[in-house]
Structures are given as C-alpha cells and as structure tokens.
Structure 1
Amino acid sequence: MKSLLTRQRRINPVYAAFMAVSFMVGVAGALQAPTLSLFLAREVDVRPFWIGLFYTVNAVAGIAVSLLLAKRSDNRGDRRMLILFCCAMALINAVLFAFNRDYLTLITVGVFLSALASVAMPQIFALAREYADSSAREVVMFSSIMRAQLSLAWVIGPPLSFALALHYGFTTMFLVAAGLFVICLLLIWLALPSVPRVEQSPEVVLTQISAWRDKDVRLLFLASMIMWSCNTMYIIDMPLYISSTLGLPDNLAGLLMGTAAGLEIPAMLLAGHYVKRVGKRRMMLIAVAAGVLFYLGLVLFQSRTMLMVIQIFNAIFIGIIAGIGMLYFQDLMPGRPGAATTLFTNSISTGVILAGIIQGGLAETFGHYAVYCVALALSVVSFWLSTRVRDV
C-alpha cells in the first residue's frame, strides 16, 4: 500500500499530459509531412518545380509567422491559449488538405494555416520549460523525454502515413491527422497548465532586447542551421543515392531512417541524464563530432552493412542536438523560452531551405556522391562554430 501511494505521488498528470500532447502532435505532423510531395504530385497534379516551390514558401512562411508569435508569447497573454489556437489552425489545415486539390489555395491559405500550426510544437516546449522551472522539476531530463516522444512519433508516423495514403487515400490520411489534433485540443484544454508570467528584472529585460546581438546566440544559430542542412540534405538525397548510384534495394532507405529514429531515443535520454555532468557545450560538441564521423562514413563506405552501422553516429548527432540544442538556446536567452525555442526551430527551417537548394544543385551538376562530400565539409564548419559558443 505504501509503495502504491509513493508511485501515485511520483506520477504527475501534468507531466504525462505534456508527453501525450508532444507525442500526438508529433504523430499528426509525421502523418502529413512524409507524403506531402506525393500528394502534390498525384492528387494536385503539379510538376516537380511547383512541389519544390511549395516547400520553400512553406518554410519561409513558417519562419516569419513563428518569429512574430514567439515575440508576443514571451511578453503577453497565456501561452496555453496560443497553443490551442495553433492546434486549431492545424486541424483546419488538415481538413483543407483532405478535401481541396487546388494548388493556388493550398500554397496560399494552406501555407498560412500550416505556418500558424508550426508554432504549436515550440510553444509546447516553451510552456514545458516554464512549468518545469516553476515547479522545480528537472528541466533537462523533462525536455529530453518530451523530445523522445517526437522521435517515437517519427518511428510510427511515416509508415502509417504511407499505409493510409496508399491503401485508403489521402483524404482519409488527412482526416486521421485532423482527428489527432481534436484529441490534442482536448488534452491541452483539460490538462496543460497556465503558467503565470514571472516579472523580469531590468538586467534580464536588457538581455531580452539584445539577445540576437549576442554573438554566442548568432554562432549557435549558424552552427545549428548547418547541422540541420546536412541532415536534410541526407534525408532528401539518400533514397536516390542508394537506388541510382549504389544499386542497393529501395527499401533500405526506409530501414536506415527507421533505425536512426529508433536509436535517437536512447541517445536523447542518455544525453538528458549525463548533461549535468558533461555540460551542454561539451555535449553539443560530442553530437557534432558524431555528425562529422557519420558524413565521413557516407563518403568512405558504400556497403549495406556499413551504412547500417554508421546510423549509430547519425542517431547520436540528431538525438543530442534535437534536445540539448534547444535547451542551449534557452539558456543563452534567459527569460525568453518562446523566442529561444522558436529560434532553434527556425534554424531547422532555414537549414531545410538551404538543404533543398544545395542538394538539388550538387546532385544535378556533380552527382549524388558530391552531396555527402559537401555535407562532410559543412559538418566540420559546424563543429568549428560550436567550439566558439560559450558554455552556460
């Protein structure tokens, strides 16, 4: 009886709600993202150029909207209400994609709704940080476990996305995503807390105003942007490289992605556990060094076995920077968890934009192998930039 009461005391319903919301929002996103290009090509019937334009416009709009909303979220209003609004926009967007096949509508109304929806996840993490700080909870481990929910969502989401889209149609797939957002809205409304704003001292306010002027914030943004550019170049190019250049089975691409996503979860949790001992800066350097080894492996090795083995380095690379990288931004920008988290996610979005341009140009001009040589060089640059960011 005593152990049961102790266990009940340990289970925090708010903590569980944060886990559930981050997982379900992650699954809803992982349902829609992997098949988007297929949807535009087959259902909307547009050429590859217009598909690429859609991704670019979507990423740019996401950056602009998230920066505007992040600034507001840190200064006024209830962050939980903003999350509810963004999830409602995600729900409307999923319904729009389920029933609309007009490209102009999707690239205007759809992209705008998608940009608003994209703010939900960084705001969920920002609210989680405020809750952890206000309740004296362990911030790093809390955030790492939440980030692991996203990795788990991306293990489950893509296969489910293709299964629903190919067997039941895109309308069904988008409606399932809409249903998940309905559940998320209920969970957020009923279970997530409204954390009161803490009045900042004049010193912290001055830090807030000049955060982007801080060279450490700028260096970390550039390093993170390059890391995510390398990762996205790999994700875009790898299926083509495996089939057209290496002559390996097409399904190996899915196996490599699934293996890396699965290994990311223990990498995140271990990073969260040891970060206090090791420090965020050193942990980030370990992650980027693993990224350098991964891209070096892609340049040196071409066999199925070795491509599987080096996924360990890929998992360490992405698993650590996805969790610790966000916390590093938050610690460099005290008092602005929303803006810091959004700056981190915008480094990802900017990396995606650059990756599409670099990968397309390199693959068409020099071949797929050149993509990994450039990714290796960029990862070394990212490591050098990371060494110049101060410890916190």
Structure 2
Amino acid sequence: MISTLRVVWGSRRLRAAALSMMCIGAIAASIAPYQGLIAIKLFGFSDPQFAAIMIVGAAMSVAASIYVGIITDQWASRYTTALVSGAISSSAFVLVYLTRSPAMYVIAACLLIPVGFSLMGQIFAIARVAVNERAPHERDAVMSIIRAGFALPFIVVLPLWSLVIVEDADLIQLYLGMSAASVLSLLVLLSLMPKDGTEGGIEEKSGLSFRASMSELFHPRVTVRLFLIAALVAANTTYMQTMGLIFDGAHPNGTARTGRLAALIAGLEIPFMMLLPLVTQRVSKSTALLGAAVIYAVFLLTFPMLAGTDYVWLLAVPAAMGAAALLTLPIAYFQDLLAHRPGASSSLQSVNQVTSQLIAGATFWVGTAIASYGVVMMMAAGLALLAGVVLRLADSHDPTLSQ
C-alpha cells in the first residue's frame, strides 16, 4: 500500500485526481445519508415523488455519462471536460442553497447534478490513462487508492453534520457544505491537473464514430454485466437512501445516528478497500463481488431489526466489508471490460451508479407501496444475491473475465 501511495503522490495527474475525488466524496458524504430526509422532510415531497425524482435524475445521469465518456475518448479532452462538469455541479448546489426552493431542488436533482457528476467518471478515466502501462495488479491498487479517497471524507464529514443538523430546517446547510466542496474540487483541477497530452496523460483518440462507440457500449456482453453490477451496487444505494428514514422512526436521536453509523462504516471501508488487490490476485472480480453480496445482504436484513438498539453499531463491520468491494471493484471491472476505452469504461462506472439509483428508486417505490422501509432493504438484499450469482455464472464462460 505504501508503494502505491508513493506512485499516486509522485504523479501530478494522479495526485490531482485523488484530491478531487476526496472533494467529491465530501459532497457524497453530505447528501447520500440524508437524501430521503431532504426530499421528504425539508422540501415536503411524498415517498412516490421522491422515488420519481431519483429515477428521473438517474436517467439524466445515464445519458450525460455516456455522452461525456464517448466524447472524451473521441477528443481526448479530459481536462476541459472535467472543468466544465465541476462548474455545473458547483452551480447546482449554490442555487439550491440560495433559493431554498422545492422547484430548484428538483431542477438540480434531475438535471444539473446528474450532468455535473459525470466528473466522477472522468476522474477515474484520468487515473486509468496515467497507469495504463503498469501491471494489472498495480492498476487495481491505484484505482483502489483513488476510490478510497472518495470514502475518506465520510469519516470526518458525517460526524460533523450529525452535530450541526438538529432540526429539519438545518438540513439546508448541507447544500452550503456541498457548494464549498464542489468549488474546492474545481480549484484543485484548475491548479494541479496537467493539461491533456502532458505528464502521463498522453493517449490516442478513439477513432470511433459516436454510433460505433454507442454500439460498443450497448453490446449485450457489456449491458448485461452493467445491469447485474448495478443491481449489486443498488443494495448499498438503497441502504443510503433509506437508512435515515429507518433510524428516524426507530430512535429518538435517529438523525444524528444516521451520520455516525455512516461515518463508522465509511472509516472501516478504507482498510478493506486497501486489501482488495490482494483478494483479486487470488479470485476473479465476479467471485469477490458475489462474496461481498452475501455479506452485505446479511447486513441489510439485520439493520431494520437493530436500528432502535445499540447493537446496530456491530453491523458496521459486515457493512464495511461488503460495501468496500461493491463500491470499488466495479471500477476495475469495467476498465477491464473495455480496456482500450478509458472514457467509455469510466462512464460505465457512472452509468452503473445511476442505474443502481434507478433500481434502488424502483425498489423503494415498490417496497413502500406494499409494506415498509424494512421490506425495501429485504428486497434489495435478495436482488443483490441473485445478481451476484448470475454475474459469476456469466463470467465463468468468458475467458477474459473469469480469471
């Protein structure tokens, strides 16, 4: 791990990518556990309306990520694209905070934030280009470091928000924090990121037309695996969307507990992320993902029963073990799947995230319509287990992915 950290810090491109990813992690730490509370308790939307907002925003993110990934491969213009994406996301958070309007919240959630968050996929593409010539296990180790940078802010940011947020009205302060983190990410890219074609960022343009690139992305070999991995990741997405609501109904101090448990899990995820390259040297990525699905399903099934007790803190260990793999391995998996298309493969990671939001939104909608938030988590656990088994079976017949 120390040698990998030296590699990251010794490259201006990787260093900028890691620092920018930490800023993006701070944004995610600020909004992810509180999504349901913001939409339902702060802005007054109903459960079905919240689910609809999540689905529309996810669909817009899919379109934006695919378009940006293809264009950056065609033009090899990752630096400029990252700056534009960062500027859009910054404006979204600032506008919601200044207007405090439900209408602006919907515009930001359904349009501006999905477009701006294509930045995350491009950060992974930038990092992949910088390590393309290294051995596979070294590439995996670097990507694990970059992904761990995303998780690191959860340790600090979530406990701070648990102290700041004591009433529904205070939830708007989340957007002030996200505005600051987004602007800082933009400044990091402006000041530290070398321009395209310099210092480890030299790459050839894809040479593919937009139509040919789309055909490559929508080949059944790719789309089936994308959906299966999204179903796996949806387990974590469902948890993040629902945990605050379950805690709020199960404990008098539920809002504060939301931030504290999420921070504890995120802190424990980091060492598990660092160990993942050792795991993938011995088993295939799909085997590791199946194991993670089993562990995380146990966590999801147990959490609603223990949310009102102090035993809930014990669940942080299995939650972190499962989430570390579910959130990190898809990055390297997609980059192996489309090894010569760093932009397109990294856009698959963004599409994976938002497709998981689509699946999680649909799960939330159905689960709350027929029963309770606890049933939502039960459905997510079952879906993750099924997806993990099918992915492992599919990869066992693909020689490039079975090892």
TM-score, normalised with respect to structure 2: 0.80
Q: Deviations over 1:267-324 (max 9, x none)?
A: 1110034423434333223322323443455599788465433432221221012112
Q: CA deviation at 1:243?
A: 6.0
Asked if 1:376 corresponds to 2:381, the answer is yes
Question: Where in structure 2 are there 5+ consecutive unaligned residues?
Answer: none
- C-alpha separation in 2, matches of 1:372 and 1:43: 23
- C-alpha separation in 2, matches of 1:43 and 1:115: 21
- C-alpha separation in 2, matches of 1:152 and 1:141: 16
Equivalent AA in structure 2 for residue 197 of structure 1: E
Root-mean-square deviation (CA, aligned residues, Å) is 3.5
Instruction: Map residues 308-323 of structure 1 onto 2, 5 A cutoff.
Output: 308-323=313-328
- C-alpha separation in 1, matches of 2:89 and 2:307: 40
Partner of 1:147: 147
- C-alpha separation in 1, matches of 2:7 and 2:340: 30
Asked if 1:210 corresponds to 2:224, the answer is no
Partner of 1:60: 59
Partner of 2:233: 228
Q: Deviations over 1:211-235 (max 9, x none)?
A: 43142x2332122121122223333
Equivalent AA in structure 1 for residue 184 of structure 2: I
Instruction: Map residues 145-184 of structure 1 onto 2, 5 A cutoff.
Output: 145-161=145-161, 163-164=163-164, 173-184=174-185
User: Which shows bigger deviation, 376-385 or 329-338?
Assistant: 376-385
CA contact under 8 A between 1:125 and 1:143: conserved in structure 2? yes
User: Which shows bigger deviation, 54-63 or 322-331?
Assistant: 54-63
Partner of 1:192: 193
Question: Where in structure 1 are there 5+ consecutive unaligned residues?
Answer: 1-6
Shift in alpha-carbon separation, 1:9–1:375, aligned structure 2, 3 A: closer
CA contact under 8 A between 2:363 and 2:380: conserved in structure 1? no
Equivalent AA in structure 1 for residue 65 of structure 2: S
TM-score, normalised with respect to structure 1: 0.83
Equivalent AA in structure 2 for residue 343 of structure 1: L
Larger radius of gyration: 1
Instruction: Map residues 351-366 of structure 1 onto 2, 5 A cutoff.
Output: 351-366=356-371
Instruction: Map residues 334-353 of structure 1 onto 2, 5 A cutoff.
Output: 334-353=339-358
Equivalent AA in structure 1 for residue 84 of structure 2: F
- C-alpha separation in 2, matches of 1:52 and 1:368: 13
Q: CA deviation at 1:249?
A: 6.2
Shift in alpha-carbon separation, 1:382–1:300, aligned structure 2, 3 A: farther
- C-alpha separation in 2, matches of 1:105 and 1:155: 29
Q: Deviations over 1:15-50 (max 9, x none)?
A: 332221110122134334444554555665555554
CA contact under 8 A between 1:26 and 1:150: conserved in structure 2? yes
CA contact under 8 A between 2:246 and 2:304: conserved in structure 1? no
- C-alpha separation in 2, matches of 1:228 and 1:315: 13
Partner of 1:127: 126
- C-alpha separation in 2, matches of 1:31 and 1:296: 25
Asked if 1:268 corresponds to 2:273, the answer is yes
CA contact under 8 A between 1:28 and 1:181: conserved in structure 2? yes
Q: Deviations over 1:232-285 (max 9, x none)?
A: 3333344444564x6796355444323321211111110034423434333223
Q: CA deviation at 1:166?
A: 5.4
- C-alpha separation in 1, matches of 2:63 and 2:139: 28
Q: Count how many residue pairs are aligned between Structure 1 and Structure 2.
A: 382
Identity %, equivalent residues? 21
Shift in alpha-carbon separation, 1:172–1:348, aligned structure 2, 3 A: closer
Equivalent AA in structure 2 for residue 188 of structure 1: L
- C-alpha separation in 2, matches of 1:355 and 1:286: 20
- C-alpha separation in 1, matches of 2:331 and 2:314: 27
- C-alpha separation in 2, matches of 1:214 and 1:151: 32
- C-alpha separation in 1, matches of 2:378 and 2:38: 31
Asked if 1:331 corresponds to 2:336, the answer is yes
- C-alpha separation in 1, matches of 2:8 and 2:96: 42
Shift in alpha-carbon separation, 1:367–1:201, aligned structure 2, 3 A: closer
- C-alpha separation in 1, matches of 2:308 and 2:357: 27
CA contact under 8 A between 2:60 and 2:114: conserved in structure 1? yes
Q: CA deviation at 1:146?
A: 1.0
CA contact under 8 A between 1:208 and 1:336: conserved in structure 2? no
- C-alpha separation in 2, matches of 1:243 and 1:105: 26
SS in 1 for 2:218: helix
Partner of 1:12: 10
- C-alpha separation in 2, matches of 1:73 and 1:346: 15
- C-alpha separation in 1, matches of 2:184 and 2:248: 39
User: Which shows bigger deviation, 39-48 or 341-350?
Assistant: 39-48
